[in-house]
């Protein structure tokens, strides 16, 4: 019996034979979300408990077989699918989806890593609380994956990234040991912060199996506004005014370019996209108020009156009810879907100091148009925290697949060099995965890379945890 056959037998003994998949259609685990890469797994293993995860990791470590941990497989940087060797085990945590505890007095919720983000949000809401992490894939992505990639989303401007919402973790190490770190403490200065090592590590240091997360009181009211702005600089000016008028109530601030919104209008005509035809950019902003809807509406009215007087807003609408607010947010969330309908594209998830974003956009737009005349820029994202999805679509009469094949590396180099020149980051919330590995090595300092490699080698000396992602050993 081969070593791999022995390992599969051992895995079946740990989880049950039905939870170790080796045959049939495994594309749900082997193909990435964007359908850019298709690998081949030795097996897909679906443990049902932390003890089973630990036993699986121990068995794979003893066999020298690497593990690719996977949640909802909604990542955008090819970081959670196997390579094509047929020698990696995919460790799917989707069965581990239990809510373990809700502590209302401590404002914490403890859940297993396979819990769907939307389920987590609904659990908090039913108990009268808010879990604010929100992103387009929330109906499919899992909290383990959100933490492993330090996901961001639409409310970072108020509540922070996934890292900021996490108080403790349970982790299976590369050696198959369990670190029980599910503390709900907000203060714990007892040495290195191990939690923050694993948040954002993309499965390269260990397996997150559970997390204790922060909850917040539900706001008394949420209001959403949609504003037309003449330029990206005006959007930044509006953001400053929103901070002044709304304070901590400002929970979302999204910018959307005209072409991005035109794709939604074209591919989803049932959605009525307001104001986009008359302005280069639109802004979607949300005010969550702790007092009342009347107070929130008064704040919004004062903000928009000031913005109109100063000329940074040319027109604006405020949602009259929750249904209208959902419609406006649905337009924003439909941009990636509309872009996919338009054809393959080159995605960038970048962050730059908010003050420098207008200059970056102007300079980089010009660079791309000079290098590739007719290229179309799908520019949208979380301006409130300096994160743009600065995507590049083929010219209107071009072959999208051929454009991606022939120009992706050149486009990436132009954009990432420009990002570096403005002191930004090439990955704001999607992670590094394998797609950005080479670019990270070009743009991360040698000192930082050296420390990252030292951490990887210390915690995973066999390099069995998601190798070839984030940092090379």
For the stretch 169-201, pLDDT in tens is 999 999 999 999 998 999 999 999 999 999 999
d(CA 130, CA 120): 10
What confidence score (pLDDT) does residue 2 get? 76
% of the chain residues with pLDDT over 90:
89
Q: What percent of the chain stands above pLDDT 70? A: 100
CATH of 3-92, one of 1.10.1740.10, 3.30.43.10, 1.10.510.10, 1.20.1050.10: 3.30.43.10
Residue 21 half-sphere exposure toward CB, CA atoms < 13 A: 16
**Res. 254: pLDDT tops 70:** yes
pLDDT bin (cut points 50, 70, 90) of residue 247 is: very high
- Using pLDDT thresholds of 50, 70 and 90, give the confidence band for residue 36: confident
With 90 as the cut, is the pLDDT of residue 289 above it?
Answer: no
Residue range 95-112, pLDDT digits in tens:
999 999 999 999 999 999
Q: What is the pLDDT of residues 368-397, one digit of tens each?
A: 999 999 999 999 999 999 999 999 999 998
Q: What is the CATH number of domain 221-336?
A: 3.30.70.2190
Q: Please state the rounded mean pLDDT for residues 295-311.
A: 92
Query: Would you kindly state where each structural domain of the chain is located, as residue ranges?
Result: 3-92, 99-217, 221-336
Of the pLDDT bands very low, low, confident and very high (cuts 50, 70, 90), residue 332 is very high
User: What is the β-pairing status of strands 221-229 and 206-214?
Assistant: unpaired
Instruction: Supply the angle between the helices 357-371 and 400-421 in degrees, to the nearest 10.
Output: 140
Task: Check whether 412 has a pLDDT greater than 90.
Answer: yes
Q: Could you tell me which of 181, 203, 201 has the C-alpha nearest to residue 190?
A: 181
What is the distance between the alpha carbons of residues 281 and 254, in angstroms, rounded to a whole number?
Answer: 10
Q: Is the pLDDT of residue 319 over 70?
A: yes
Mean pLDDT of the 464-468 span? 96
> Above 90 in pLDDT, residue 164?
yes
Domain 99-217 has CATH 3.30.465.10: yes
Q: What is the pTM of this model?
A: 0.93
Q: What pLDDT, on a 0 to 100 scale, did the predictor assign at position 451?
A: 97
User: pLDDT confidence of 1, banded at 50, 70, 90?
Assistant: low
Q: What is the pLDDT of residues 261-288, one digit of tens each?
A: 999 999 999 999 999 998 999 999 999 9
Average pLDDT, the chain: 95
> Residue 278 is encoded by which pair of tokens?
């008359």
Same fold: 3-92 with 221-336: no
Q: How many helices (H) and strands (E) does the chain have?
A: 16, 19
Percent helix, strand and coil across the chain, each to the nearest 5: 40, 25, 35
Residue 291 φ/ψ, nearest 5 degrees: -100, -70
Specify the pLDDT at position 3.
Answer: 80
pLDDT at 140: 93
């Amino acid at each position: 019996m081969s070593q791999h056959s022995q390992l599969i037998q051992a895995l079946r003994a740990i989880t049950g034979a039905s939870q170790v998949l080796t045959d049939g259609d495994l594309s749900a685990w082997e193909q990435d979300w964007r359908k850019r890469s298709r690998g081949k797994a030795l097996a897909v293993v679906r443990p049902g408990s932390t003890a089973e995860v630990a036993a699986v990791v121990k068995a794979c470590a003893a066999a020298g077989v690497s593990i690719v941990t996977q949640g909802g497989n909604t990542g955008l940087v090819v970081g959670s699918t196997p390579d094509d060797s047929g020698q990696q085990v995919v460790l799917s945590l989707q069965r581990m989806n239990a809510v373990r505890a809700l502590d209302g007095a401590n404002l914490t919720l403890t859940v297993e890593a396979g819990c769907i983000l939307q389920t987590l949000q609904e659990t908090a809401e039913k108990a009268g609380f808010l879990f604010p992490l929100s992103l387009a894939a929330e109906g499919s992505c899992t909290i383990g994956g959100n933490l492993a990639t330090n996901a961001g989303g639409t409310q970072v401007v108020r509540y922070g990234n996934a890292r900021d919402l996490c108080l403790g973790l349970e982790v299976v190490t590369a050696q198959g040991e369990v670190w029980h770190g599910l503390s709900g403490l907000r203060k714990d200065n007892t040495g290195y912060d191990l939690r923050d090592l694993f948040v954002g590590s993309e499965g390269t240091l260990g397996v997150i199996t559970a997390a204790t997360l922060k909850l917040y009181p539900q706001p008394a009211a949420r209001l959403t506004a949609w504003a037309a702005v003449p330029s990206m600089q005006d959007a930044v000016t509006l953001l400053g005014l929103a901070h002044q008028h709304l304070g901590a109530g400002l929970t979302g601030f999204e910018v959307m370019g005209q072409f991005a919104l035109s794709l939604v209008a074209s591919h989803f005509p049932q959605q009525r996209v307001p104001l986009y035809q008359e302005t280069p950019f639109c802004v979607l902003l949300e005010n969550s108020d702790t007092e009342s809807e009347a107070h929130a509406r008064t704040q919004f009215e004062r903000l928009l009156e000031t913005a109109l007087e100063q000329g940074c807003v040319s027109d604006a609408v405020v949602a009259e009810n929750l249904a209208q607010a959902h419609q406006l947010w649905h337009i924003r969330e439909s941009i990636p879907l509309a872009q996919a309908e338009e054809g393959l594209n080159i995605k960038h998830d970048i962050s730059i100091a908010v003050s420098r974003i207008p200059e970056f956009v102007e300079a980089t737009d010009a660079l791309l148009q000079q290098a590739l005349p007719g290229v179309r820029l799908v520019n949208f994202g979380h301006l409130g925290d300096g994160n743009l999805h600065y995507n590049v679509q083929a010219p209107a009469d071009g072959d999208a697949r051929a454009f991606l094949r022939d120009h992706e590396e050149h486009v990436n180099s132009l954009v990432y060099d420009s990002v570096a020149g403005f002191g930004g980051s090439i990955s704001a919330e999607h992670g590094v995965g394998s797609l950005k590995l080479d670019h990270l090595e070009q743009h991360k300092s040698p000192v930082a890379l050296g420390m990252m490699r030292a951490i990887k080698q210390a915690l995973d000396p066999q390099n069995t945890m998601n190798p070839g992602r984030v940092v090379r050993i």
